[in-house]
Amino acid sequence: MNIGISFNFSALIFSLLVAAVYFYKPRIASMENKIYKGLLLVSIFGCIIGVPTYFLVKSYPEMNFLTFLIPRVYLCYILSWVFLMTQYVLIISSSTNEKKVYQKSFKIFFPLYLIISFIIMILPMEYHNENGAVFTSGPNVIFTYIVSAFHILYWFISLIINYKVFKTKKCIPIISVFVLGTIMAIIQGIDPSIRLMTPMISFITMIMYFTIENPDLKLIKELNIAKEQAEKANKAKTDFLSSMSHEIRTPLNAIDGFSQLILEEEDIKVIKEEARDIMNASQNLLEIVNGILDISKIEANKLEIIDVLYEPEKVFADLVKLTKARIGEKSLEFRVNIAEDLPDYLNGDYVRLKQIAVNLLTNAVKYTKKGYISLNVSVVKKDDICRLIISVKDSGIGIKKENINKLFTKFERFDIEKNMTIEGTGLGLAITKKLVELMNGKIVVDSTYGKGSNFTVAIDQKIVNKTKVVPAKVEVVKKINIKNKKVLIVDDNLINLKVAARLLSTYKVKTEEVSSGFDCLKKIEEGNTYDLILMDDMMPKLSGVETFKKLKKTPGFDIPVVALTANAITGMKENYLKIGFNDYISKPIDKKELERVLKKFLNSK
Ligand code: ADP
């Protein structure tokens, strides 16, 4: 077989392979791809008709319909490829919108292409067999070459003008045409029977497969998803900030307003009333901050479930008391039904369990104007597992069907206009759901808009056999008698110093206050003695932890040091204890906590 025909066959196989890979892989919708698709199909078509052209001309020296048609179609194939390449050059060398350039050039070139193809079809053509090599010649062959030469000249000029294209790999197919075209001309000059036009066109088309921009679409898709997620997270953070600043402002407004009023008020009764309002607002503020802490802990996977032994009956009794306080003056009936077969002792995280129920009960109170709210606790026991089924029902405003799915998403609040006067952050249910999940439980909602809602939580807890319970050391409630004991308070914030000192003064404790770790060290170095040191951590230059470590190195130092800090995220308490602090109190100071610490360290002395 003629060497040219072998090349032709190989080109056909390779072109088919490239086409299979190209069409299988997802592509971007670019003009380059559009043109490349055309080039690929045209080059396959050329390989297919190149073979019969050769054999026909060789086997049928006399003109017939096929020998008339096929060689002309072959010329049209060359022309199609050249026209498509011109489109490609136009696109890569233009700096404006590719699509517009393509559409404009298509409008001009396509009719031109049709006219030229028509001329090729009607112009006369000759072919002859010379020493086994077949040659086609005649006006249409010359015409095709002239048209192609003009196109190639245009590519050349275009690339020279837009020389920047040389810096990109996009010019490689065009340069290949020049280089391979020259090589082909030399080879065919030596042996005209070697037909290389079709393989050359296929080869250049194959090269182009590697030069057209086809980024990995899968990667792009993944990147886009990641980008969307990042944008969503960013938006959530912005929403969070605006939501928080609003929520924080509300209690702050009350604290600020009532404080101003107290300063001008003489009547002690009114002052007490307003102080109570300040306390409520502070409590509210603390709840917001705790909510933020909880959600950030949950999101950072830092929230731990700490299982301890507890008495469920006491927990639910506490819940009832709390809810009654929440209902306050509101004319709501509170229906309570707690299972009588509740085990005496359970093992689980009762603090979080309580938080879940409090969130649901608080919402029921908040979103119910009249009627009732109910707390229903039932149990299902199996072996040593007790499933607590806590159901909180209300006859309140209810939730629209379309909002049920969004209910557990943070910052989602519904019927904003209707609920304008009801405080909330939209964090409660998001936290509740996460807590339930962390405790391997389930939460379901059933709500009818305008009629009421029913939230049911099911959580498994371990039953602890009463007989197994080691009776807890009954702490003898010591009467607090710490009068005249000496406490050193270390805090860089003057207000915090004042608050701590004032709270301690109610126990008739003597206090000294210093506003830095350095001053604390100085006091000890000077030989002052104390019964207890309350130490803030986040102080400039010398932190509480650093001060503590230095204190520990002081010979003979044995004063108990308690961390008193606003650094209240999960694990912090354990951290401070690990460092060696004797105990930990979080700010704002809970009076009960302070009393516990005072009893622990001062009473015994
Ligand atoms: P918050 O109450 O702080 O706004 P939550 O996450 O607890 O946040 O609740 C989200 C939203 O779900 C509330 O704003 C309210 O629109 C709706 N919702 C929650 N509980 C109830 C309920 N018992 N009845 C009606 N709507 C409720």
Q: How many angstroms separate the CA atoms of 142 and 119, rounded? A: 12
Q: How many angstroms separate the CA atoms of 598 and 592, rounded? A: 10
Contact 565, 581 (CB under 8 A): no
Ligand 1 pocket, residues with Cβ under 6 angstroms = 363-364, 367, 394, 396-399, 407, 412-415, 419, 424-430, 453
pLDDT tops 70 at residue 17: yes
Contact 459, 435 (CB under 8 A): no
Percent of the chain with pLDDT over 70: 90
- Nearest Cα residue to atom 13 of ligand 1: 413
Q: What is the pLDDT of residues 460-519, one digit of tens each?
A: 999 998 654 554 444 444 556 777 889 999 999 888 899 899 999 888 889 999 999 999
Name the pTM for this structure.
0.52
Of ligand 1's listed atoms, the one at least distance from the Cα of 430 is 6
CA dist 523 → 489, 516, 530, 533, 542 (Å): 11, 11, 10, 11, 15
Q: How far is the centre of ligand 1, averaged over its atoms, from the C-alpha of 431 (Å)?
A: 12
Q: How confident is the model at residue 205, as a pLDDT?
A: 92
Mean pLDDT of the chain: 86
CA nearest 368: which of 338, 389, 399, 337? 399
CA dist 380 → 312, 339, 383, 393 (Å): 14, 10, 10, 20
Q: How far is the centre of ligand 1, averaged over its atoms, from the C-alpha of 426 (Å)?
A: 7
> Which residue would you say has higher pLDDT here, 291 or 46?
46
Of ligand 1's listed atoms, the one at least distance from the Cα of 407 is 12
Q: How confident is the model at residue 474, as a pLDDT?
A: 41
Structure tokens at 216: 């990995």
- Nearest Cα residue to atom 3 of ligand 1: 424
Mean pLDDT on 393-410: 90
User: What residue has token string 């060398």?
Assistant: 93
Contact 85, 173 (CB under 8 A): yes
> Which residue would you say has higher pLDDT here, 203 or 240?
203
Mean pLDDT on 23-43: 87
Query: What pLDDT band is residue 204 in, cutting at 50, 70 and 90?
Result: very high
Mean pLDDT on 196-203: 89
**Burial letters 461-474, b for 16+ CB under 10 A, else e:** bebbeeeeeeeeee
Percent of the chain with pLDDT over 90: 40
Structure tokens at 52: 């019969």
Q: How far is the centre of ligand 1, averaged over its atoms, from the C-alpha of 334 (Å)?
A: 19
Q: Which of 115-124, 197-206, 302-311 has the lowest mean pLDDT?
A: 302-311
Of ligand 1's listed atoms, the one at least distance from the Cα of 426 is 8
CA nearest 428: which of 316, 525, 309, 298? 298
> Which residue would you say has higher pLDDT here, 545 or 418?
545
Question: In testing the pocket of ligand 1, which one of 359, 367, 374 has its CB within 8 Å of the most ligand atoms?
Answer: 367
Q: What is the pLDDT of residues 139-198, one digit of tens each?
A: 988 999 999 999 999 998 988 888 888 888 888 999 999 999 999 889 888 877 777 888
Q: How far is the centre of ligand 1, averaged over its atoms, from the C-alpha of 363 (Å)?
A: 6
Question: In testing the pocket of ligand 1, which one of 240, 332, 413, 448 has its CB within 8 Å of the most ligand atoms?
Answer: 413
Q: How many angstroms separate the CA atoms of 582 and 237, rounded? A: 37
Q: How many angstroms separate the CA atoms of 240 and 425, rounded? A: 9
Parallel, antiparallel or unpaired: strands 385-394 and 346-348: unpaired
Rounded-to-10 torsion of CA 428, 430, 433, 438 = -100
> Which residue would you say has higher pLDDT here, 581 or 219?
581
